[in-house]
Structure 1
Amino acid sequence: MTPPATTTAATPPAAPAAEARTQSGDGIRTVRHKWTEHGLLFTAPFLLIYALFLIWPLLYGVKLSLGDDNIAGTEAQFIGLDNYAEALTDPNVWSSLWNTVWFTVLSTVPLVLTGLVMALLAHHLRVAEWLWRLSWFAPFLLPSGVVGMLWMWMIYPSGFGLADQMLAAVGLEPGIGWLTDERYAMLSVVLTTVWWTVGFNFLLYLAGLQAIPQHLYEAAEIDGAGPWHRLWHITLPMLRRTTGVVVVLQLLASLKIFDQIYIMTGGGPDDSTRPILQYVYQSGFTGYRIGYASAVSYIFFALIVVVSLVQLRLSRRASEEKAQ
């Protein structure tokens, strides 16, 4: 007698597909976890904008500097390093670069020292404290065009400017060419820049002063240290890092001088105040030589990088010596 056939449950054939979907889902979750863990998902919009508006123009500028591109509509050709070779032998490049360095030297020292003195005064003033801080920082908020025109009206030798009236009040002859005489043009621009931008350094120093622990002054005062001793042995050493930041930012800002010189002197008289950025502008948009202007700008960019690296090295060495 034949036994009855038994029915066995068959294994579902869809199990491998389900396992594959599970592995795929795990892979997607792993990738998503890595993106969120390292912050790439959140920084992706910034990185995209950064690459679009900074990295791409930087690379495109290198391409322009290797050709004879212009804005006259003629076809550009690749000429290699000819633009760089010409720029290194161009006397206008060196004179403009010297004007830029000279302005940086003249402006950096008073901007740093004046910002420190203003911060010390504002930090210890107790009468109308907010008014002093507002009035010293307010000029920094003005546009460069407003500042340039304001100072041109004050120092222009017309007999109605503030400078002429002050000279006449002390019995001196008015009518000095503050912006038309080579002896005074650069100094006039430096004075304007100091009045305009010292508020930013003042703000940085004021923040640094407020971060110094008060108990250091109290302990020094108990030990009999006077105001000058507290300044030299507590305040200035504690502001060393702030001073380093201020000096670096001021050097970079002064090297990029353009607006106030272009408005007040136009680079004159006789190109005695023309900075390197104005020469780049004139070469590219007045002389129509975009490729050559790009080469000059990259030479100047290399100079700024060198200055930044030197300053960073000096700051690190000072920190290491202090730690030892």
Structure 2
Amino acid sequence: MVDVTLSGARSAARAVARQKVQNINAPLWRNALFVAPYLFFFVSLLVIPLFWGIWLSLHKADAFGTGRFVGIDNYLRLFRDKIFIQAIGNTFYFAFLTVPALAILGLMLALALNRKTKAAAVLRAVYFSSSVLSVTIVTLIWRIVFIGNFGLLATIYGWFGATSPAFLSDPKLAMIGIAIATIWWCIGLPMMLFLSALQQVPAEIYEAAALDNASRWRTLRYITLPSIRRTFVLVLIIQVVLQFQLFGQSKLMTLGGPNNVSKPIVFYIYEAAFTKWDLGLGAAASEVLFVLILIAAMAQYFISRRRGEEG
């Protein structure tokens, strides 16, 4: 009788414990409180502005409020505007100049500074320090370098009796000058991402390659690069998104000139929305920019992923 009572008590205790475990693991609505702050800012700062911008781009809007519904008329006005078409080309050209350079130079710096020495640590800090500067300081520095007749570059060329390139006034060189300043400014982030990826590669693999007398080139090609492939794709996508949003360097260094050759899409949006106060046109241009960034980033991701699977 006692054994029966004890076994019944044990069964009841197991049932209570099982019920507690089930209650702990059961989904509870109050757990949503942990993600509520993130969801609030995500919705208020990203989702709502996205749909508000789409809605605004379909209306005739100005500084005094939203006017009548015009459908896709703002988008038709955009693609009839030669300056906007030129701004799209300028943006793609700038991304072509900066994104590959940032990825390749960042990888080269990471490979060179991936050492446990004080000199490497100091150089990592030096190269990354430019990334913490504001766009105003960066453009001021490079205006001092590029300004004709009195700039640092003109002074160096003058030592050899030559004339320096007019990066800020030559239509063929204006975007290249902005790209040089941007690469100097942004090189720290890809370098640190590549350094982080390189430090995650197991040292045993390199030791095995050394025992097989593998050259540095073969080690780089068959061990290092395949190991950091995903980081390389990440760097490319991040830089595509960032460089498509060029604005401050262009406005502060060249004002979009000469002849609009250095005016990107964001500069066009700024002028349309906050200089001409045509908010509907500016919203339409921003939606076009969003689609272009999305397409470029996704294309880069799928192309890199397919190459990785084939390799």
| TM-score normalised by structure 1 residue count | 0.84
Confirm or deny: 8 A CA contact 2:106 2:187 kept in the other structure.
Answer: yes
The structure 1 residue matched to 2:159, chosen from 156, 169, 183, is 169
Q: What's the CA shift string for 1:235-261, capped at 9, x where partnerless?
A: 112121111111111111111111111
Q: Distance in 2 between matches of 1:75 and 1:101?
A: 32
SS of residue paired to 1:55: helix
Tell me the residue number matched to 2:4. none
Matched, 1:243 2:237: no
- 1:110 deviates by 1.2
Taking only the aligned residue pairs, the percentage that are identical comes to 32
Q: Distance in 1 between matches of 2:195 and 2:241?
A: 21
Aligned pairs for 1:287-298 (under 5 A) are 287-298=276-287
Confirm or deny: 8 A CA contact 2:83 2:260 kept in the other structure.
Answer: no
Tell me the residue number matched to 2:8. none
Q: Distance in 1 between matches of 2:149 and 2:111?
A: 38
Larger Rg computed on CA atoms = 1
Tell me the residue number matched to 2:59. 67
Letter in 2 for 1:109: P
The structure 1 residue matched to 2:129, chosen from 135, 138, 143, is 138
Q: Distance in 1 between matches of 2:188 and 2:282?
A: 33
SS of residue paired to 2:184: helix
Letter in 2 for 1:58: L
The structure 2 residue matched to 1:208, chosen from 194, 197, 207, is 197
- 1:88 deviates by 2.1
Q: Which ranges of 4 or more aligned residues in structure 1 deviate by more than 4 Å?
A: none
- 1:74 deviates by 6.7
Letter in 2 for 1:135: V
In angstroms, what is the RMSD of aligned CA positions? 1.8
SS of residue paired to 1:76: strand
SS of residue paired to 1:268: coil
- 1:54 deviates by 1.7
- 1:127 deviates by 4.8
Tell me the residue number matched to 2:10. none
SS of residue paired to 2:61: coil
Q: What's the CA shift string for 1:78-135, capped at 9, x where partnerless?
A: 1111111211222111100000000000111111111011111111473522211100
Mean Cα deviation higher: 140-149 or 236-245: 236-245
Matched, 1:225 2:219: no
Tell me the residue number matched to 1:35. 29
Q: Distance in 2 between matches of 1:204 and 1:61?
A: 33
SS of residue paired to 1:128: helix
Residue segments in structure 1 that go unaligned for 5+ positions in a row:
1-28
Letter in 1 for 2:84: V
Letter in 2 for 1:112: A
SS of residue paired to 2:77: helix
Tell me the residue number matched to 2:182. 193
Q: Distance in 2 between matches of 1:33 and 1:79?
A: 46
SS of residue paired to 2:114: helix
- 1:145 deviates by 0.5
The structure 2 residue matched to 1:312, chosen from 269, 285, 301, is 301
Tell me the residue number matched to 2:146. 155
SS of residue paired to 1:77: strand
Letter in 2 for 1:95: Q
**Distance 1:318-1:162 versus aligned 2 partners, 3 A rule:** same
The structure 2 residue matched to 1:300, chosen from 276, 279, 289, is 289
Confirm or deny: 8 A CA contact 2:149 2:155 kept in the other structure.
Answer: no
The structure 2 residue matched to 1:126, chosen from 98, 117, 123, is 117
Letter in 2 for 1:35: W
- 1:46 deviates by 1.6
Q: Distance in 1 between matches of 2:233 and 2:127?
A: 22
Letter in 1 for 2:297: S
Q: What's the CA shift string for 1:37-95, capped at 9, x where partnerless?
A: xx422111221222122211111111211111001x37611111111121122211110
Q: What's the CA shift string for 1:2-60, capped at 9, x where partnerless?
A: xxxxxxxxxxxxxxxxxxxxxxxxxxx99x95225xx4221112212221222111111
